[in-house]
Amino acid sequence: MARRRRTSSVTEERYKSRSVAEMIAKHGEFAGFQNPTRALYQTIRELVENSLDATDTKKILPWIHISIKEESRNSVNGARPWYIVTVEDNGVGIPVTVMAQAFGKVLFSSKYVIKQTRGMFGLGVKAVTIYAQQTTGSPIEVYSSTAESQYVYMMKIKIDMKNNMPKVLEKGDWAKKAAWRGTRVRVKIEGDWKKAKSKIIEYVKRTAIIAPYAEIIFETPDGTIYYYPRTTRKMPEPPKEAKPHPHGVNVEDLREIIASSKARTLKELLVSEFQSVGEKTALEFLSKFGFDPDMNPKELLKREKEGELVKLVEALSQFKFRAPKSDYLSPLGRDIIIEGLTRMFSPEWVDAVTRPPKSYKGHPFIVEVGMAYGGAIKPVDEPVLLRYANKIPLLYEEREDVSYKVLKSINWKNYNVEFPAPLIVLIHIASTKVPYKGLGKESISETPELESEIRNAVQEVARRLKSYLIKKEREEEAMRKAEALAKYIPEIAWSLAVLSKPPDSWTPPTPEEVNMFKEKLIDIVAEKVRVVGPGGEEVDMKKLVKRVVDSVELE
Amino acid sequence: MSGEHEHFIDKVDLEARRRAAKVIYEKFAPVIKDVLAGRPPKLVIPKRTLANTVFDPERGILVLGEEMLEREFLDLGESRRFMQTLLMAAIIYQSLIENEYPTIRDLYYKGKHTIVYRDLRGRRQEENTWDEQKESDAVIQDVEVFTGLFREDMLILSKEKGKVVGNMRIRSGNDVIDLSKLGHGAYAIESTADLIEFIDVDAEFVLVVEKDAVFQQLHRAGFWRKYRAILVTGSGQPDRATRRFVRRLHDEYNLPVYVITDSDPYGWYIYFVYKVGSINLSYESERLATPKARFLGVQMSDVFGYGSKKPYLSDSERKKFIIKATDRDVKRAKELLKNYPWIYKNPLWKREIEIFLKKKAKLEIEAIASKGIKFFAFKYIPEKIETGDWIQ
Ligand SMILES: Nc1ncnc2c1ncn2[C@@H]1O[C@H](COP(=O)(O)OP(=O)(O)OP(=O)(O)O)[C@@H](O)[C@H]1O
Ligand SMILES: [Mg+2]
């Protein structure tokens, strides 16, 4: 069969480079700005999370004021309303030298270090700036001052999209009269409060749940003010900064590390630039994979050594190093979870666990689970899940989330929980690298290590819930029993008093005689029905039985 | 024992009260001792269940078996009944001492209280000591089996149903009564049949008829005088006093007892109550049943004939008098044949019931009587007694 050549008309491709700012502007959905509802929600999130990063991770008890106001304007019929969003904090502030870039240059961040913070991409607030620019044409307005600074600085910033560079439209500074420190960010955007309302209110509430050490004030466009006072001064330990773990670097990371390192030998490089690697381990590793410990690492950056570099990365990921350290993680801790759940839900039982650190692909993580049961919680058909990652509440895409999937697979009957039940489950994942499904940070992917650790944590707390429920059930049963017996005591006491007197000298029983039998019977019941309360405390049954007996009236 | 009206009460009653009160006092003493010593109290009572009811073939009566029931106050399933039993016992005890004559209905009202209390959640709760009389009646039975005293022994009265006439004199309370000198009337058998003293009895046999109307007919026809019988009726299902009275006549004077009832399962049942006792009150049988009572009639074979026996009714009479048995009758008859050894082990009873099941017909005593009271009183009954045409 003859071959036929395929003919095609080739049109000329036109190539163009685009800045990262333009890319975000074009694809708002990557950053969570796909529609006016999500945009308003995302704006609040980005600003509040930056404020919290500027406070609790810096050992400052947070004070955060959030306000959303509708802008009154003579709009074209049917045009969407504009909102002025203001978030103010008492955080560390932004040095004036970086202020413009922090708010006006995409991928500029102070959080590109290995350390657990809410922010990680260097994108969040710039997405807000871009969105404001696109929808209302207005700049983002920042007031800030650091503790050391004598001045309060102000800038109105837009982004030069083409060059991904900040454009400062206006700036000012004022000498500080009082020792003010913090940041106030104001931005005007298009939004849809009506639709976003419930999620935003829920977001602020969930933020408050795990930050009982924060004072949060939230003013809505409806004029409602949500006030979450500080209920504890205890804060989670701020995270420390960490060096990368050998399992967590790729070729590019390693190239960067070598380039900036002062190490003169390969051995020195491993020991000084990585965590979990000592002299002995370094030597053992290098000899195992046939690298020269005394080689100058800069050699590896040469083009002809490209193969060596790749080989080194592969070797690093295979070798069994000590597990990554976790002191640059900042879990909430059991006390704060318990405090937060208690103050928000007034449950009858609450407990939490902070699991020991584990790692996946060289990134350490800690899973924390809290559960609240009963009390003021309304019974519903499945557990209410409160998801958090690095202290950020996750509200959207619940069903996509690994935590939801784990929870769904738990057989609650094994833990004596029968739905509908009043159960809230809080799951927090802390990691230097949370495997989010998207830049909007709304759900976490099913990483096996994470999944099994979440399951362990949920089961651990659920077991404690179970033993509480068993004790409670036992206690209630004992109470019911005590009650069921106590109510008959007056009749029986009277009968015994009547029957206790011989026929020849019989007189009607006196109240004292009846009481004597009552007391005896109360003792007998209290002795038999012993109750240990859910907290392990012995319940004074005599008092309880007596209370029922004394309440009896015969009609 | 006190009371300003006491001197109006006859000595027999007072004695009976004293005896009963003493028994109750002694029976409950261990329970009281337990409570005073801080031990959980309990009552050990013979079980009154069907499973613990046995037929004693030697004595021919139903009696309670050996099984005992521990009614513990601390046992949630029993605590209510425990309370009820004590309450009932106390009320009865007090009534005995205070010279009261309660009926079972009085006891029901006396002990019916509403216990109002607050549960441990502070909610108001209510519970009656007992709700219906059925419940308190059952408690009275518990007190009876626990103390071994019958209600009559405890001076608990009930409606008098039984009647008796005949050549005999009795003492009831302070009075002597001649049961042959009551005109057209009869002596109503008192609730406390054991307190009756038989002075003299001049009779050949006892004839028990199911129905009061038939009793009156036989009485006026002079049946008992002619045949020197003691004539008794329980007016349907006999009360305890009537049964005890018949039993005493049998025991104390060795008189044969003949019973005449309707010819249907219900009539048979009444006969068996006299003879064996009722299945759910077997503890009474020992004193109330007359195992040697004879079922005189009306037998199925009297109606239809059997073998060489000629029926008492002609074909046309039979057509006139017999009634079609209902499904319930049939079912009941089958049960009798199946469940009760004193029936299925007796070939004559088997024959009776088999005829019934075949003919599906029943007959009331009145039918025989309407053939003429003379036929009934002076032919049917004496002939059957004479020829031994009865079932025992
Ligand atoms: N309220 C604030 N107080 C102090 N510094 C702030 C504040 N808001 C922003 N910054 C600084 O601006 C930088 C950029 O913020 P941005 O939200 O764009 O990125 P990020 O928080 O680092 O990461 P992400 O994209 O994950 O939010 C932050 O890294 C921080 O240094
Ligand atoms: Mg941020």
> pTM for this one?
0.67
Residue A170 C-alpha to ligand 2 middle, in angstroms?
23
Check residue A439 and give its pLDDT.
Answer: 73
- pLDDT of B280 reads 66
Lowest mean pLDDT among A70-84, A447-461, A487-501: A70-84
Tell me which of A476, A480, A506, A523 to substitute to probe the interface with B (most B C-beta atoms closer than 10 Å).
A506
Pocket test for ligand 1, best of A43, A46, A50 (most atoms within 8 A of CB): A50
DSSP state of A118: S
Is residue B257 within 8 Å of residue B250, measured between CB atoms? yes
Spell out which residues of chain A touch residue B41, defining contact as CB-CB under 8 Å.
524
Q: Which among B97, B115, B118 has the least Cβ separation from residue A554?
A: B115
Whether the pLDDT of residue B391 is over 50: the answer is: yes
Q: How far is CA A7 from CA A1, A13, B330, in A?
A: 18, 18, 103
Mutate to test the interface with B, among A472, A477, A485 (most CBs of B within 10 A): A485
Distance from residue B54's CA to the centre of ligand 1 (Å) = 92
Q: Which of A77-81, A480-484, B203-207 has the lowest mean pLDDT?
A: A77-81
- Ligand 1, atom 19: closest residue by C-alpha: A122
Task: Please answer whether residues B303 and B263 qualify as being in contact, where contact means their C-beta atoms are separated by less than 8 angstroms.
Answer: yes
pLDDT beyond 50 at A1: no
Q: Of A24-33, B95-104, B142-151, give the lowest mean pLDDT range.
A: A24-33
Pocket test residue of A125, A143, A152, A441 for ligand 1, highest count of atoms within 8 A of CB: A125
Give contacts of B73 with chain A, Cβ < 8 Å. Answer: 485, 488, 492, 521, 524
CB–CB of A55/A91 below 8 Å? Answer: yes
Q: Which of B109, B115, B155 to mutate to test the interface with A (most CBs of A within 10 A)?
A: B115
Distance CA A217, CA A220 (A): 10
Residue A3 has pLDDT above 70, yes or no: no
Helix (H) or strand (E) holding A308: helix A306-318
Out of 3.30.565.10, 3.40.50.300, 1.20.120.420, 3.60.40.10, which CATH number does the structure's domain A2-228 have? Answer: 3.30.565.10
What letter would DSSP give residue A59? T
- Enter the tokens of residue A259: 């380039």
Cα nearest neighbour of B83 on chain A: A492
- Residues of chain B found within 8 Å of residue A542, distances taken between Cβ atoms: none
**Ligand 1 mean position, distance from CA A445 (Å):** 24
B residues 180..219 contacting A (CB < 8 A): none
Is a pLDDT exceeding 70 seen at residue A8?
Answer: no
CB pairs < 8 Å spanning A and B? 113
- B32 at interface of A, judged by CB pairs closer than 8 A: yes
The pLDDT of A60-69, averaged and rounded, is 98
Closest Cα to atom 24 of ligand 1: A119
Quote the Cα angle for B318-B324-B326, to 5°: 155
Instruction: Average the pLDDT over B78-106 and give the result.
Output: 95
Residues A465-491, mean pLDDT to the nearest whole number: 90
Can you tell me the mean pLDDT for A479-501? 93
pLDDT at A2 over 50: no
Q: Is B147 on the interface with A (CB under 8 A)?
A: no
Q: How confident is the model at residue A10 (pLDDT cuts 50, 70, 90)?
A: low
Given a cut of 60, whether residue B23 has pLDDT beyond it is: yes
Instruction: Kindly state the average pLDDT of the residues B163-167.
Output: 96
Measured from the Cβ of residue B47, the count of other Cβ atoms closer than 10 Å reads 15
Identify the three-state secondary structure at position A158.
strand
Q: Which residues of B251-272 are buried (b: 16+ CB within 10 A; e: fewer)?
A: eeeebebbbbbbbbbbbbbbbb
- Average pLDDT rounded to a whole number, residues A237-250: 85
Distance CA B196, CA A454 (A): 87
Torsion B57-B58-B63-B67 (CA) sign: negative
Residue A47: half-sphere exposure toward Cβ, Cα within 13 Å? 32
A483 contacts in chain B (CB < 8 Å): 119-120
Give the pLDDT of residue A129. Answer: 97
Catalytic, B109? Answer: yes
Specify the CATH number of the domain A246-318: 1.10.8.50
Atom of ligand 1 nearest to the CA of A109: 29
- Between the CA of B82 and the centroid of ligand 1 the distance, in Å, is 76
**A157 Cα to the center of ligand 2, angstroms:** 16
Q: If you average pLDDT over every residue of chain B, what do you get?
A: 90
What residues 63-82 of chain B have any CB closer than 8 A to a CB of chain A?
73-74, 76, 79-80, 82
Residue A104 reports pLDDT greater than 80? yes
In three-state form (DSSP H/G/I as H, E/B as E, the rest C), the secondary structure along chain B is CCCCCHHHCCHHHHHHHHHHHHHHHHHHHHHHHHHHCCCCCEEEEECCCHHHEEEECCCCEEEECCCEEEEECCCCCCHHHHHHHHHHHHHHHHHHHCCCCCEHHHHHHHHCCEEEEECCCCCEEEEECCCCHHHHHHHHHHHHHHHCCCCCCCCCECCCCCEEECCEEEEECCEEEECCCCCCCCEECCCCHHHCEEEEECCCEEEEECCHHHHHHHHHCCHHHHHCEEEEECCCCCCHHHHHHHHHHHHHHCCCEEEECCECHHHHHHHHHHHCCCHHHHHHHHHHCCCCCEEEECCHHHHHCECCECCCCCHHHHHHHCEECCHHHHHHHHHHHHHCHHHHCCHHHHHHHHHHHHHCEEECHHHHHHCCHHHHHHHHHHHHHHHCCCEC
Residues of A with CB under 8 A from a CB of B: 479, 481-488, 490-492, 494-496, 498-500, 502-504, 506, 508, 517, 520-521, 523-525, 527-528, 544, 547-548, 551-555
Does position A15 have pLDDT exceeding 50, yes or no? yes
Identify the weakest region by mean pLDDT among B88-92, B188-192, B209-213, B307-311.
B307-311
Question: What separation in Å is there between the alpha carbon of A99 and the centre of ligand 1?
Answer: 10
Tell me which of B136 and A17 has the higher pLDDT. Answer: B136
Q: Shortest CB distance from A487 goes to which of B24, B36, B115? A: B115
pLDDT of residue A134: 95
Give the Å distance between the CA of A17 and the centre of ligand 2.
26
- Residues in chain B with CB shorter than 8 Å from the CB of A498 are 90, 93-94
Going by CA atoms, what residue is nearest to atom 10 of ligand 1?
Answer: A50
ipTM field = 0.83
pLDDT at B1: 45
User: Given CB atoms, is B94 within the 8 Å cutoff of chain A?
Assistant: yes
Mean pLDDT of A424-431: 96
Cβ–Cβ < 8 Å for B257, B274? yes
CB B154 within 8 A of CB B92: yes
Residues B109, B283, B306, B312: which is the catalytic one? B109
CB atoms under 10 Å from CB of A129, counted, come to 28
Residues paired with B54 in a beta bridge: B63
Q: Which ligand number lies closest to the CA of residue A112?
A: 1
Q: Where residue A5 falls among pLDDT bands split at 50, 70, 90?
A: low
- Residue A185: nearest ligand to its CA? 1
Would the pLDDT of B200 be above 60? yes
Average pLDDT over residues A437-464: 92
Query: Please, which residues bridge with residue B368 across strands?
Result: none
Chain A residue with minimum CA distance to B1: A504
- Closest C-alpha residue for ligand 1 atom 12: A102
Question: Helix, strand or coil for residue A46?
Answer: helix
Look at A226 and B336; give whichever has higher pLDDT.
Answer: A226
Q: Measuring from each residue's beta carbon to the nearest atom of ligand 1, which residues come in under 6 Å? A: A 46, 50-51, 54, 89, 91-94, 102, 109-111, 119-126, 183
Of A496, A527, A548, the CB nearest to B86: A496
The three-state secondary structure class of A204 is helix
- Cβ–Cβ < 8 Å for B286, B63: yes
Confidence of residue B138 (pLDDT cuts 50, 70, 90): very high
pLDDT 10s digits, A528-544? 887 766 666 777 888 88
Region of residue A374 (phi > 0: left; psi between -120 and 50: alpha; otherwise: beta): left
Average pLDDT over residues A133-143: 96
| pLDDT beyond 70 at A484 | yes
Chain A residues inside the 8 Å CB shell of B123: none
Instruction: Report the DSSP beta bridge partners of residue A140.
Output: A157
Domains of chain B listed by start with CATH number: 6-147 (1.10.10.10), 163-387 (3.40.1360.10)
Give Cα separations from A445 to A121, A438, A440, B372 (angstroms): 17, 9, 13, 104
Over residues A32-57, the pLDDT tens digits come to 899 999 999 999 999 999 999 999 99
Do A41 and A196 touch, CB atoms closer than 8 A?
Answer: yes
CB B156 within 8 A of CB B102: yes
Q: From ligand 1's centre to the CA of A109, what distance in Å?
A: 6
Q: What residue spans define the domains of chain A?
A: 2-228, 246-318, 334-467, 487-551
* Residues of chain B contacting A496 with CB distance shorter than 8 Å: 28, 31-32, 35, 86, 90
Select the residue of B1, B28, B119 nearest A499 (Cβ to Cβ).
B28
- Kindly write down the DSSP assignment for every residue of A427-491, as one continuous string: EEEEESS--BSSTT---B---HHHHHHHHHHHHHHHHHHHHHHHHHHHHHHHHHHHHHHHTTHHH
pLDDT interval class at B5 (50, 70, 90): low
pLDDT tens column, B261-293: 998 999 999 999 999 887 667 777 888 889 899
A504 contacts in chain B (CB < 8 Å): 1
Q: Check residue B340 and give its pLDDT.
A: 81
Nearest CA to ligand 1 atom 1: A51
Closest CA to A469 of A537, A380, A379, A374: A374
Mean pLDDT of the residues in chain A? 91
Phi and psi of B42, rounded to 5°?
-150, 160
Q: CB contact, 8 Å: B123 with chain A?
A: no
pLDDT tens track for A319-356: 999 887 777 788 999 999 999 999 999 999 999 999 99
Residue B119 has what pLDDT? 84
Residue that the structure tokens 């190093």 belong to: A321
Q: List the structure tokens of A237.
A: 């330990």
Fold classification of A334-467 (topology level) = Ribosomal Protein S5; domain 2 (3.30.230)
What is the chain A residue with the closest CA to B73? A485
